[in-house]
Structure 1
Amino acid sequence: MIKVNDYKELKTLVDDPNVYLGDLDVSAITDMSFLFEDSLRMDFSGIEKWDMRNVSSIDGMFANAQFFSHDISNWQLDSVPLQNKSFNSFIKNICIDTPVYDYYQLTVRNIVSEKEKRIINLKKQGFKLPIKAEYACLNCTRNDEINEFVNSLDDDQRLDTIDVSMCKNFSKVLKNSERSNYDGIENWVTSSAIDFTDFANGAKNFNPELKNFCFFNCKYADNFLANTDYNQNFSEKQKFSTNLNSCVGMLKNCKKFNSSLDCFLFYKISADCTDLLVGCSSFDAKNIPLFNKLPSNIALSLASTVLNIELDKRPFCLNKEQYKEDYESLINNYSFNTPLENKMVLVLLKDSELENLPIPIKSDKNLHLSELAPLVGENHLFKSFAISKSTLKQIKEKYRSDKEFFKTFTSMELSDYVTLKGYQIDENVKFTSLQLLFITNPNEMYRNNHTNYEALCESITSNNTIPTKDARDMFILGNDLYKKGLLTISDNHKNNHPDVQLDNSKNIIPALKR
């Protein structure tokens, strides 16, 4: 046996056609990348005996080796990363432009022309590669074929019995799965994946590690793991790229999810991330990556969702001292200043469809807004959106006048939204459109003579009700907020009418500053 000490020595030896490969002890070699690239060697006998356990890289090892088709199925590639020893890697990288590659191409053509299933038995098909999986998908395998294959497996069969490294479409592969065992899915290589839409949406008992899942080429991840028990970390090495178009509801209603989201640590992502964490009632904000490293649309979506979660799960109960710790916890555990600082809230007053509005609010990625928990109306929910001041100005410009704008919308500071939402949770009340307009935009109310504005303000502060129905509704809300210290009414000599403002300086409802 010839003890080989380094790559250069090994390269010299394998380039000599008179050297029998079985005489080489390669156990000390860690890198064999491009070792036989462009080789004209015809005899590869003995290579099957090589001790490959310490080798960590075999990239392009046989690339364009015109006569390589040897059986290497018994190699143990313990040190090679999973992604680099997949079927896809062997065909398109390690053995590219060899007889092995040509045979793969022929196999695909025959299967497609004969309309056979695009999942092959590797040994029966004659592939002699060191791949642990018994079956492999082809680059033309459809998502429904993977779904059918997985459903055909018994619960005690591992999912890594199939190599999916060539698959591009993983949509609905495990949707509504009834399996109780997902062992082996952690070994799936998904570097070719483009579509994860509804991948495991509604799958029962689904909480396996997906540590080797790669999202770099993914374009669609809508409802990826929605409505499951999933609660595993997404690491930075799995991160999405600029390829991502949409991940709407990616973890929707994953009520147990409280793990890291470092896969979003990529500043150029501009995908639609609406409702990414909606319904994740166990989620803690500290698992969100640093907001200053996130693209603004994702940061806003995550911040808005966490705010909704915190509002929903805490018993606010105004003016009750025993809940003071809850308020402080909300303030201290989550910095609302980033990225919600300076954000406004746009509230849709009319019960109309968003697509009928002059601007396609939710479909325009450039607007960078995120849906908050709606304020409760008497006949419908008032949809609410976190929005920048510049975007709010952009939307207002679509209307002929402020008067036209306020027929459809009202707007408020984010802190005022938190106050009103917390107030609704505490008091179980429902707002009317006029009540919202009065509390959030009293100047508009005054300008358009919706009611006797000055008399209404005076009645609120003096606790004397007024007769007309519209004014009475506003009096009831305004007076209650006023008595709870959440509303201030003061003279404003500049505007020549009283000033109405929500006031949460007492932190009765959590303020947005730490």
Structure 2
Amino acid sequence: KDRGQWFAGCEHLTCTATDTLDMTGVKNAEGMFSGCHAINCDMSTWDMSKVSNMDFMFRDAHAFNGDISTWDTSNVTSMEGMFENALSFNGDISGWDVSNVTSIRTVFRNTHAFNNEIGNWDVRMVTDMEGMFCDAVAFNNDLSHWETSNVTNMKSMFEGAIDFNGDLSMWNTSQVTSMEQMFKYAHTFNKDISGWDTSNVINMYQMFYGAKSFNSDISNWDTSKVNDIRDMFHDAENFSSDVSKWQ
């Protein structure tokens, strides 16, 4: 079954029904409530066990903050932009099974309220984290135990995440090729990432642009494959690490 784009663009859609929408067997929920600015109904008992695609499901659903904590997401492979611009969302999704998800790019982009625990998510299959917390201005939760060994794209991951200052020291970044704008305008971030493996990174353009607090010693990073470091530390006013020996 396909529920993709089912209510997309219904800006004033609200729920008055007392029964539950039958999602049994539905595999595609892409953009289901995208642009539904007013939606905030009870979806807590929905059967999501067959859904594989949740891309943009609540994008621009400005009012949504429903309880979806018990959703079975074990078959989901993509959550790209799922809560993008869902300005009010701060629901408990800590128990979600994301072990089959490969893309979570922009999933919390511009979610102004979101600051819930997702540190126990199993993200070992994820390859794309681009813009995941971009402009998620309230987010500052623990991600220290994430297994990121398959991630290749971290572009803009914490761009504009002005409150974030989490420990990322143990992240495996050995496969990452893009860190472009990763901490741009991440005003608070100042954690030790000196041990990151950057040997495959090609792009560090504006990586710490405007990261006013950052001053970790990254002098030993392997930048041998990097071909773009333009404006990497522009307006990073606290940064004083000596990177003169970078290749």
Q: Deviations over 1:45-93 (max 9, x none)?
A: xxxxxxxxxxxxxxxxxxxxxxxxxxxxxxxxxxxxxxxxxxxxxxxxx
Residue equivalent to 1:241: 99
Q: Which runs of 5+ in 1 are unaligned?
A: 1-139, 314-329, 345-365, 377-386, 396-408, 426-435, 441-476, 489-498, 503-514
Q: TM-score, normalised by structure 1?
A: 0.35
Distance of aligned partners of 1:164 and 1:151 in 2 relative to their CA distance in 1, 3 Å threshold:
farther
Residue equivalent to 2:193: none
Residue equivalent to 2:166: 334
Cα distance in 2, alignment partners of residues 206 and 179 from structure 1: 7
- Identity of counterpart residues, as a percentage? 14
Contact 2:132–2:158, Cα closer than 8 Å, also in 1: no
Residue equivalent to 2:27: 168
Distance apart, 1:141 and its partner CA: 4.4
Distance apart, 1:423 and its partner CA: 5.8
1:168 partner amino acid: K
Distance of aligned partners of 1:410 and 1:218 in 2 relative to their CA distance in 1, 3 Å threshold:
closer
1:220 partner amino acid: S
Q: TM-score, normalised by structure 2?
A: 0.67
Cα distance in 2, alignment partners of residues 147 and 485 from structure 1: 48
Contact 2:34–2:59, Cα closer than 8 Å, also in 1: yes
SS in 2 for 1:147: coil
Distance of aligned partners of 1:424 and 1:151 in 2 relative to their CA distance in 1, 3 Å threshold:
closer
Distance apart, 1:164 and its partner CA: 0.7
Cα distance in 2, alignment partners of residues 485 and 423 from structure 1: 8
Residue equivalent to 1:121: none
Larger Rg: 1
Contact 2:108–2:132, Cα closer than 8 Å, also in 1: yes
Residue equivalent to 1:388: 197
Q: Aligned pair 1:259/2:119, yes or no? A: no
Cα distance in 2, alignment partners of residues 300 and 258 from structure 1: 23
Say how many residue pairs are matched.
218
Cα distance in 2, alignment partners of residues 262 and 296 from structure 1: 16
* Higher percent of residues as helix: 1
Distance apart, 1:249 and its partner CA: 0.8
Distance of aligned partners of 1:263 and 1:157 in 2 relative to their CA distance in 1, 3 Å threshold:
farther
Distance apart, 1:421 and its partner CA: 3.6
Distance of aligned partners of 1:271 and 1:161 in 2 relative to their CA distance in 1, 3 Å threshold:
same
Distance apart, 1:252 and its partner CA: 1.0
Distance apart, 1:168 and its partner CA: 0.7
1:143 partner amino acid: G
Cα RMSD over matched residues? 4.4
Q: Aligned pair 1:372/2:191, yes or no? A: no
Cα distance in 2, alignment partners of residues 485 and 271 from structure 1: 30
Distance of aligned partners of 1:262 and 1:216 in 2 relative to their CA distance in 1, 3 Å threshold:
farther
SS in 2 for 1:390: coil
Cα distance in 1, alignment partners of residues 231 and 179 from structure 2: 24
Q: Aligned pair 1:143/2:1, yes or no? A: no
Q: Aligned pair 1:276/2:113, yes or no? A: no
Residue equivalent to 2:63: 205
* Higher percent of residues as strand: 1
SS in 2 for 1:339: coil
Distance apart, 1:220 and its partner CA: 1.8
Residue equivalent to 1:110: none
Residue equivalent to 1:215: 73
Q: Aligned pair 1:230/2:89, yes or no? A: yes
1:216 partner amino acid: S
Cα distance in 2, alignment partners of residues 257 and 225 from structure 1: 10
Q: 2:149 aligns with which of 284, 296, 313?
A: 296
Contact 2:56–2:83, Cα closer than 8 Å, also in 1: yes
Distance of aligned partners of 1:439 and 1:259 in 2 relative to their CA distance in 1, 3 Å threshold:
closer
Distance of aligned partners of 1:246 and 1:157 in 2 relative to their CA distance in 1, 3 Å threshold:
same
2:167 partner amino acid: S
Cα distance in 1, alignment partners of residues 148 and 28 from structure 2: 26
Cα distance in 1, alignment partners of residues 117 and 213 from structure 2: 31
Q: Which runs of 5+ in 2 are unaligned?
A: 186-195, 215-228
